[in-house]
Amino acid sequence: MELRPLGGTGIAVSPLGLGTVKFGRNQQVKYPRAFEIPDDRAVRELLELARGLGINLLDTAPAYGTAQERLGRLLPGPRSDWVLVSKVGEFFEGGRSRFDFGFHTTVAVVEQALRDLRTDYLDCALIHSDGDDLRILEQEGAADALRELKRRGLIRSHGISSKTVAGGLRAVELLDVVMVTCNLEYNEERPVLEAAAAAGRGVLVKKGLMSGHLRGAEGVRAAMAFVFSQPGVSSMIVGTIDPGHLRANVRTLEAILG
Ligand SMILES: NC(=O)c1ccc[n+]([C@@H]2O[C@H](COP(=O)([O-])OP(=O)(O)OC[C@H]3O[C@@H](n4cnc5c(N)ncnc54)[C@H](OP(=O)(O)O)[C@@H]3O)[C@@H](O)[C@H]2O)c1
């Protein structure tokens, strides 16, 4: 797959990224079917397959159970083959989410991500919003902490996985990257995509396949075509633990992008 710029970050990403929720967590998730977390061999093979198909972008988070630590253990190839995106602010403990967007917590969470992922930098750290985007951006320490971590070289770029139009628009002013929900059934955050495109920010789309609530191959094609008809999209992050789906998703997207 041909890489594209992640806004003005200097980072080049595959238009299809791999989401890793299902690598480490099967509680309190909204997928259509229950699933078993794949074993180490299956995760390793999926990562090898992704790399072979030209995917370089992996999206993870401390809130995805064991996903981040497993990536650190199982990631094939040199670090430079991958663009690693992780998050700050959300913790998933004892089957429940807890949030902390403080300055010192944010620094500690990124430092832990580096240990988990066995690396000395993240390509991007996103604030994992609880829905109160504006308050987090304007009243909590997380954004300042991410700027400080970028200055120190521990992260190459920063952003927010946002949930509101107002928060997404503010993030376009303050940060390098926005991660926005965009799909055939929900496109209320399109003004954020437009603003990000105009400002040259990186845009990652989450839940583009409606978390799997789809009808067959044609449903996947229509969902992907819709996402890539929107302005400014750098990459669509699709979560899968099925090698057949991963192959099909790459084929489908390549046909759409030409
Ligand atoms: N707040 C946040 O920051 C946030 C929130 C949500 C998501 N995300 C990120 O975005 C990623 C994607 O979001 P998501 O997992 O909610 O939604 P998604 O990518 O829209 O959907 C993932 C679901 O679609 C299924 N799927 C994938 N390819 C398919 C295909 N070809 N045919 C049929 N089903 C297919 C997967 O099942 P199979 O495993 O069976 O393929 C999985 O259950 C996450 O993994 C995560 O990295 C971030």
Confidence of residue 23 (pLDDT cuts 50, 70, 90): very high
Nearest protein Cα to ligand 1, atom 29: 245
Task: Say yes or no to pLDDT of 215 above 90.
Answer: no
**Beta-strand pair 235-239/16-19:** parallel
With pLDDT > 90 as the criterion, what percentage of the chain qualifies? 99
Ligand 1 centre to CA of 18 (Å) is: 8
Contact, 192 vs 178, CB < 8 A?
yes
Q: Tens digit of pLDDT for each residue in 55-80?
A: 999 999 999 999 999 999 999 999 99
What SS3 class is residue 218? helix
Q: Tens digit of pLDDT for each residue in 29-48?
A: 989 999 999 999 999 999 99
With pLDDT > 70 as the criterion, what percentage of the chain qualifies? 100
Q: What's the pTM value of the predicted model, to 2 decimals?
A: 0.97
What are the pocket residues of ligand 1 if the criterion is a CB atom closer than 6 Å to any ligand atom? 19-22, 31, 59, 87, 128, 161, 179, 206-212, 214, 220, 237-242, 245, 248-249
Nearest protein Cα to ligand 1, atom 25: 212
Q: Residues 16-25: what's their mean pLDDT?
A: 97
Whole-angstrom distance, CA of residue 15 vs CA of residue 163 = 22
Ligand 1 centre to CA of 33 (Å) is: 12
Q: Tell me the HSE value of 164 on the side-chain side, using a 13 A CA sphere.
A: 12
